[in-house]
Amino acid sequence: MAGVQEGANLELDVTLESVTEGVLVTATVTAPVTGECARCLEPVAQTMQVWCRELFSYEQGSGSYEQAGGDAAEDGYSLDGDLLDLEPVLRDALVPALPLAPLCRDDCPGLCAECGVLLAQAGPEHGHERAVDPRWAGLQQRMTTQAEPAGSPGPEKREESGRGRP
């Protein structure tokens, strides 16, 4: 529902610390997040900030690296010579922090359940008559009557059986 657009500018505050095993990276990332409001489907743009700390270990000898097989990458990040690729770290930090249901605003009223209009634009006076249109009332009554076969149990019993598992 939401994501960080490709090519978006990220604000980074990075601290690199040299430790015995490698380089400890501490980063605060501020990223623009775009998506659709979970209630009204209007575009949403907000910023999010995540904090992460990862160790980039010195590259192991090629021998031991190969022995470890494909699982080596799962142990964590490693330095590529003198290079440190922050991208996977940022992605791993940002993706789980993305809002699952972003809202254009906290009190977004969403869409009208009856007609699908944007309630934020339609205004508070927007509404639908609860009463059934008189032209349909007769038809509805007839359908209700037809749905009940003669000698069927009363409405209470019907409700009980209807509450079973979906």
> Is residue 118 at the binding interface for Zn ion, with CB under 5 A as the rule?
no
**Cα–Cα separations (whole angstroms), residue 13 to 22, 54, 90, 132:** 19, 14, 12, 60
> Is residue 39 at the binding interface for Zn ion, with CB under 5 A as the rule?
yes
**Is the separation of the CB atoms in 155 and 147 below 8 Å?**
no
Specify the residue, 3 or 110, whose C-beta has the smaller distance to Zn ion. 110
> Is residue 119 at the binding interface for Zn ion, with CB under 5 A as the rule?
no
**Is the separation of the CB atoms in 55 and 22 below 8 Å?**
yes
> Is residue 111 at the binding interface for Zn ion, with CB under 5 A as the rule?
no
> Is residue 115 at the binding interface for Zn ion, with CB under 5 A as the rule?
yes
**Is the separation of the CB atoms in 12 and 41 below 8 Å?**
no
Minimum CB–partner distance for residue 1 and Zn ion (Å)? 12
Pick from 11, 114, 159, 160: which binds Zn ion (CB under 5 A)?
114
> Is residue 102 at the binding interface for Zn ion, with CB under 5 A as the rule?
no
